[in-house]
Amino acid sequence: MGAPRPHRTARQQAGGGGWQLLVEPAPLKLRYNKPSARIQMCKGAVSMKILMISNHLGVQSGVQRYVQNLLLNLDLTRYQVDLFVGLCPPDQASCAPALEAAGVHIIAVPDNKKARIRALYQHLKTHKDYDIIHYHTASKIGAPVCGMMRVLCPHAKIIVHSHIVYPPMTLTWRAAHLVYQLFADYFLGCGVAAGRFVFGDHIDRRPNFSVACNAVDQTRFYPNAAARTAIRAQYGITGTERLAGFVGRLNHQKNPLYLIRVFAAMVQQDPRWKLLLVGGGEQEQPMRELAAQLGVADRVLFAGVQNNVPDYMNAFDLFLLPSNFEGSPVTLVEAQGCGVPCLASTNVPGDGSVTELVHFLPLSAPFEEWAKTADSIAPGGPHADYWPTLAAAGYELKTAAHRMEQVYDKVAGEGAR
């Protein structure tokens, strides 16, 4: 066996403090600094200890943005939360500093599936005092992990949370349904479709299932004329030009090459269109090449990963989301919060279509039909405020966090043992 690799601190990689990771070839060793001052200060009042498991610390992940929003709005004087999560990908900003400042104890592990599972096993062997385990990475491979958690922490209540619909349905998924139903205590879905896909066709008929809306922060995602003007000026969008936009990972799930073809059809119909892409990913270079082939490269703007997403949302005249598959995308709600018309594929479940702003087309529709629909639903100009509708549907962040607290209290019964 070769010499051990030098340790990497998660603080150095992700910009956070109060947590550290040491990786050696075998076995995996995790090092924890003391919990933050806020946790220590509130420890006497804490009534419940929760382990929350997510994918990684990158803010470009819709799941992690949901987790961050939830944690920043929970009453952390009542809930002591350990966040077990992969390190932040190098091409993304990290949500670690904000979470740590709020009092969340972060346990950072390598960002790959095998290492995360091995690290989780090691952690739960020595940390069995959780009242609730909230598992955000429910998937096919997550089903046996759910069984492992049940064996290692027999007294914890396990909440499994589906954030995805990933067709086609297979026998492996059917088997996963049975495993989850055998070992989990409570089921959450970002929408009914996501719950049915991961946990079974009739899961929404059970009393231990509920929908957890992908709520967003109303104080950030709202119609903002000043932000709209500033971003459009920054990218040279003139008063007569129309701006379509996208926010998210440039990967297969989001179908970005199809997006470029849709945009090319939009330009053929109205040459005033430009496209602004916020995010990064492995398909960025193929997108650039396709845009050049279709003659629209000079009208496609790559902004990369940005922290001020609400400002970009406000700049758009139209938000495009022709995904191959989704759960209930956070970005769709963010766009509606900013009052932006949205055009999505029918592969995006309708759960997040809360307002009249959202329109759907199948991926089988001609690109010309996408272009005509885009033209008809995006008049441009100032965006209207749809927050009364969004809030009434449960998409206001503090209300959603309070509902999650009610779920925790219900599942845990009388709270911590």
User: 320 falls in which pLDDT band (50, 70, 90)?
Assistant: very high
Q: Which of 136-140, 206-210, 285-289 has the lowest mean pLDDT?
A: 136-140
Q: Is the pLDDT of residue 72 over 90?
A: yes
68 assigned to some structural domain: yes
Beta-carbon count within 10 A of 109 CB: 23
Supply the DSSP symbol for 365.
Answer: S
Average pLDDT over residues 389-395: 95
Percent of the chain with pLDDT over 70: 88
28 assigned to some structural domain: yes
Is 160 in the same domain as 240?
no
H helices of 72-216, in order, are 96-102, 113-126, 142-152, 171-183, 192-199
Please report, as a single letter, which amino acid is at residue 299.
R
1 assigned to some structural domain: no
* Straight-line distance from the first to the last Cα atom of the chain, in angstroms, rounded to the nearest whole number: 44
122 assigned to some structural domain: yes
126 assigned to some structural domain: yes
* Percent of the chain that is helix, strand, coil (3-state, to 5): 40, 20, 40
Asked if 85 contacts 10 with a C-beta cutoff of 8 angstroms, the reply is no
Is 70 in the same domain as 180?
yes
Note if the bond before 27 is cis, omega within 30 degrees: yes
Query: What contacts 285, CB < 8 A, 6 or more positions away?
Result: none
CATH number where 318 lies: 3.40.50.2000
Number of domains the chain is built from: 2
Is 191 in the same domain as 61?
yes
273 assigned to some structural domain: yes
Is 258 in the same domain as 377?
yes
Residue with the larger pLDDT of the pair 309 and 6: 309
Query: Which tokens belong to 70?
Result: 């939830």
220 assigned to some structural domain: no
User: 17 falls in which pLDDT band (50, 70, 90)?
Assistant: very low
d(C-alpha 187, C-alpha 322), whole Å: 28
Is 122 in the same domain as 200?
yes
**Residue 64: domain span:** 10-215+396-412
CA dihedral of residues 8, 9, 14, 15 (deg, nearest 10): -140
pTM assigned to the model: 0.83
d(C-alpha 399, C-alpha 391), whole Å: 8
Is 237 in the same domain as 385?
yes
Phi and psi for 300 in degrees, rounded to 5? -110, 120
Q: DSSP per residue over 7-67, as a string?
A: P--HHHHHS--S-EEE--SSS-EEE-PPPPHHHHHHGGG--EEEEEEEEESBTT-HHHHHH
Distance of CA 297 to the CA centre of its chain: 29
Is 109 in the same domain as 258?
no
Is 25 in the same domain as 167?
yes
Average pLDDT over residues 400-413: 95
Is 22 in the same domain as 165?
yes
User: 13 falls in which pLDDT band (50, 70, 90)?
Assistant: very low
Is 55 in the same domain as 78?
yes
Asked if 243 contacts 320 with a C-beta cutoff of 8 angstroms, the reply is no
4 assigned to some structural domain: no
d(C-alpha 331, C-alpha 273), whole Å: 21
Is 338 in the same domain as 405?
no
Q: Is the pLDDT of residue 284 over 50?
A: yes
Note if the bond before 322 is cis, omega within 30 degrees: no
pLDDT the model gives residue 46: 66
Per-residue pLDDT of 38-47, as tens digits, reads: 444 444 556 8
Q: Is the pLDDT of residue 358 over 60?
A: yes
Is 174 in the same domain as 30?
yes
